Amino acid sequence: NRPRPRYRRILLKLSGEALMGRKPYGIDWHVLETYAREIRQVVELGVAVGIVIGGGNIFRGVQNASRGMKRAHADYMGMLATMINAMALQDALEQAGLDTRLQSSIKMEQIAEPFIRRRAIRHLEKGRVVIFGAGTGNPYFTTDTAAALRALEIEAEVLLKGTRVDGVYSADPERDPNARLFTTIHGREVIQRDLRVMDMTAFTLCREAGLPIIVFNMNKPGNLLRVVCGEPVGTLVYW
């Protein structure tokens, strides 16, 4: 009696920081293993899964640029950081028994395919999980923007932003006891209330394409599956 998925093709964005688990930096292998199991659950339902992963646990461009390094240079280093995470995730997914392909926005022929949209779609059709590494391949962008862009390119029905919090709140829940969690919210209201769901470049891409975003807690077991089955988990941003 398998649950029925609400979405057939998804783009999952995972932040680099989430991979740290309780560690101060780097990758917590236990977190990776857990994520791999969660992802396998939805692949087994026949859902096509594309993944964009961040690099904040290893290197973040803006922070280092503030120390005098050229921003573009720092950003390229940030993109390489996402590749380390992408390779770690790829290994975890394969150890969990999934078929995967890694596509990079910066050419790295020995370790990843170059990003080719049609090829990515072909992989998805064959049931392979496709990880998109190296962000958009351009400095001054974020992996959230890469996630929005790839989601549109692969014609995902939804962008799932897996985080460490339960969704979008009216205020910072760690500081304001009255902060409430939205179950759904219009994108316009996100902007009016200045709620930070994603950066504006990523958000604008989603808005223009009418792509819904679901922000949810990736660290709660079963949550990804519930989201994919259309259960009201996290916050749905609609247009």
Would you tell me which residues interact with ligand UDP (CB under 6 A)? 15-17, 54-56, 60-62, 74-75, 78-79, 81-82, 135-136, 138-139, 141-143, 145-146
Burial class (CB in 10 A: 0-12, 13-18, 19+), 46: exposed
Q: Closer to ligand UDP at the Cβ: 64 or 184? A: 64
**Residue 16 assigned as binding residue:** yes
Contact in structure between 182 and 233 (CB atoms under 8 Å): no
Q: Least separation, in Å, of the C-beta of 89 and ligand UDP?
A: 12
**Residue 107 assigned as binding residue:** no
Q: Least separation, in Å, of the C-beta of 136 and ligand UDP?
A: 3
Q: Closer to ligand UDP at the Cβ: 81 or 237? A: 81
Partner residues linked to 113 by β-bridges: 103
Q: Closer to ligand UDP at the Cβ: 164 or 180? A: 164
**Residue 15 assigned as binding residue:** yes
Q: Least separation, in Å, of the C-beta of 229 and ligand UDP?
A: 25
Q: Least separation, in Å, of the C-beta of 142 and ligand UDP?
A: 4
**Residue 56 assigned as binding residue:** yes
Rg of the chain over Cα atoms, rounded to whole angstroms, equals: 17
Q: Closer to ligand UDP at the Cβ: 17 or 28? A: 17
Distance CA 200, CA 94 (A): 34
**Residue 170 assigned as binding residue:** no
Q: What strand order describes the sheet that includes 184-186?
A: 113-114, 100-104, 129-133, 48-53, 9-14, 158-163, 213-217, 235-238, 184-186
Distance CA 2, CA 111 (A): 36
**Residue 14 assigned as binding residue:** yes
Q: Least separation, in Å, of the C-beta of 81 and ligand UDP?
A: 6
Distance CA 83, CA 111 (A): 9
Tokens standing for residue 204? 């604008």
CA distances from 211 to 85, 147, 164, 214 (A): 26, 11, 22, 10
Q: Closer to ligand UDP at the Cβ: 78 or 167? A: 78
- Enumerate the known binding-site residues for UMP: 55, 75, 136-143
- Enumerate the known binding-site residues for ATP: 13-16, 56, 60, 163, 169, 172
